[in-house]
């Protein structure tokens, strides 16, 4: 029995043995891809969460800078510089948190599919 395989070059006539061997090879490739995709999704999820952590740390760093300046410094220049640093850190932190939220929404469907495959 012959099978026909459609390729870009046209139809190729194949015997049953050739088809079985090709299916086994494609199955092996597919299994390796599934393992690689799971690893990539876990790495991507961790990377996205790092963005949120560092965004929150930036905001806390800015707040700690202002609190330190208010507690230790009586000079208005020190307090003004601390406020500037606080604003810079807060804007950077909020920008990172927005990026985290956007990436989380973007890749949420992939994470749901991964959880379904694991269960």
CB neighbours of residue 16 within 10 Å: 10
**pLDDT tens, 29-75?**
888 887 888 888 888 888 888 889 999 999 999 889 888 888 887 78
Residue 69 CA: distances (Å) to CA of 12, 22, 25, 93: 77, 70, 66, 20
Q: What angle do CA 40, 116, 35 make, to 5 degrees?
A: 35
Task: Break the chain into its structural domains and give their ranges.
Answer: 2-118
Higher pLDDT, 64 or 23: 64
């Amino acid at each position: 029995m012959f099978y026909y395989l459609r390729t870009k070059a046209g139809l190729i006539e194949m015997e049953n043995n050739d088809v079985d061997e090709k299916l086994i090879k494609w199955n092996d490739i597919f299994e390796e891809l599934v393992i690689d995709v799971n690893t990539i999704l876990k790495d991507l999820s961790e990377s996205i969460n790092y963005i949120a952590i560092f965004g929150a740390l930036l905001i806390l760093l800015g707040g700690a800078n202002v609190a330190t300046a208010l507690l230790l410094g009586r000079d208005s220049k020190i307090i003004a510089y601390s406020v500037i640093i606080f604003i810079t850190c807060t804007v950077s932190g909020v920008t990172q948190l927005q990026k985290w939220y956007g990436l989380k929404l973007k890749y949420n469907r992939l994470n749901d599919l991964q959880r379904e495959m694991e269960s």
